[in-house]
Amino acid sequence: MVTWANADKLASWKKLLSLKGMVSVAEELSCAQAADRIAKYSIPMGGNLTYNYAAKQVNEQILKTFAELAEEQQLVDKYQELLNGEIINTGEKRMVLHQLTRGQLGKDVMADGVNKREFYLNEVKRISDFANDVHSGKILNEKGEKYTTVCQIGIGGSDLGPRAMYLALENWAKKNGSFKMEANFISNVDPDDAASVCKKLDISKTIFILVSKSGTTLETLTNESFVKEFIKKAGCDASKHMIAVTSETSPLAHNPDYMAAFYMDDYIGGRYSSTSGVGGAVLSLAFGPKVFQEFLDGAAEEDKLSLNKDITKNPALMDALIGVYERNVQEYPATAILPYSQALSRFPAHLQQLDMESNGKSVNRFGEKIDYVTGPVIFGEPGTNGQHSFYQLLHQGTDIVPLQFIAFKENQTGDDVVIENSTSQVKLCANVTAQIVAFACGKNDENPNKKFDGGRPSSLIYGDNLNPKSLGALLAHFENKVMFQGFIWNVNSFDQEGVQLGKVLAKTVLSGKMEGALKAYANLLIK
């Protein structure tokens, strides 16, 4: 039986707070035993990845306290409860089932009169059959031509995760003969977004995927109408160019305006939906169902590792505990996600939503105010671009910002060039190596402008290459990290009430029935 308690009520939490600033990363990585530390503080992940935390401010005493906190707060037990279908989303009184979309962990969960494991598996099969029919030419447009392009219409979790996953695998798929259809994305209600995408498409050969769980998302339905105008102007029938990913109770379900509809439910939050039909439809059409299944398999591997109660063998749990130590004990305000892979160019943006929408909370699971800080600010860019942008602040700014590097030994395309005795990929990896040590160890200099204090902690997730399985594991790692941190802080990581107020007020503005500040600002902007 698990119990839910605020972190500051735990004996292990109070013990952890007493361990502030006891480890110098600069000393640990500058000594002769640095190689031993780097080898020891390393955990295998799913998808043949590895999580290394040697450049974090931890030692055996801190790790022992982490283990005590994990046990006292029953973190793995709570994860098991989630997998078994307990009501973990207390704000909306819902189960949390996104892990069930990609693995066989936990019990069979019954909801809405159906076995949810079978429901999700069936939707993957339906998406697979549809994608195969499109690729084979069994499903054709109204002119009897094959579709060549797919375009997803959605916002938030219906865009950020799927877009990031598509971009992550695009070059890999082209290199490995798995590229089937180019994918595009429309998210912003700004009409310039939809117009710029539609104008570059051959509408007659495009399948648009409308993603809205409720079927009532204002921004998404607005963009649907916008797109339908382009379809009409192209002389095409919208019902031959649109499919829906929605809930079975939405107005988009069982609707003749769509070629097909694939279903999700309220137990999968938008930011956790990349392994559901929300990501499955676009990825299966773009790369084929086999690639999407490999992506799911990688996520399932990481989910299984997250059940290990030994924190030194549970990469997501270790990452979560270190992140809590940095946020609550070291009092660092932000975390930078730094993928040294251009394919992961939109991955930091996805993690912004995943982390900040999940754990940006100031009340606990029961609506009571909490007395400690929770989720950090998340930001990032691919290396080496970030080095020429915001690394100045990271190296010499007044705030210490923990860093999470992601890197691969090989590039995706196989294309490279040797300049000054090394390839571009080797130069990329050399930059990762140099940055980790530079942030940790710094540099002494008589000139204050050239002095680097060091002591900037970082972790490294690395592997041979970025492929569907490693990408799935990478995604699940961060999903489970965020989940564990929410459990530690005793917040509900699975609702997002902070998103709703602005939407409600926007509808008030559109109705014209407004006063005060709303009216004054509207007069500045709306003609």
What's the burial of 525, exposed, middle or buried (CB within 10 Å: 0-12/13-18/19+)? Answer: exposed
Q: Where are the beta strands (DSSP E) in 69-145?
A: 110-111, 114-115
> Is 446 labeled as catalytic in the residue annotation?
no
CB 262 within 8 A of CB 280: yes
SS3 of residue 342 by DSSP = helix
Burial 443-456 (b: 16+ CB within 10 A, else e): eeeeeeeeebebbb
SS3 of residue 526 by DSSP = coil
Closest by CA position to 94, among listed 431, 518, 496, 516:
496
- Phi first, then psi, for residue 407 (nearest 5°) are -150, 160
Lay out the sheet containing 182-186: strands in order across. 182-186, 149-153, 206-211, 242-247, 261-264
Prior bond to 384 cis, omega within 30?
yes
143 CB-near residues (< 8 Å, 6+ apart): 204
> Is 388 labeled as catalytic in the residue annotation?
yes
Region for 4 from its dihedrals, namely left if φ exceeds 0, alpha if ψ lies in -120 to 50, beta otherwise: beta
> Is 357 labeled as catalytic in the residue annotation?
yes
Q: Residues 14, 107, 388, 427: which is the catalytic one?
A: 388
Using CA atoms, how far residue 103 sits from 66, 74, 113, 125, 291, in Å, is 28, 22, 21, 14, 16
Q: Residues 503, 507, 513, 519: which is the catalytic one?
A: 503
Using CA atoms, how far residue 302 sits from 229, 296, 412, 475, in Å, is 43, 10, 22, 9
Interatomic CA distance for residues 9 and 15, integer angstroms: 11
Q: Residues 28, 224, 301, 357: which is the catalytic one?
A: 357
Residue with tokens 């502030």: 20
SS3 of residue 74 by DSSP = coil
Q: List residues with catalytic annotation.
A: 357, 388, 503
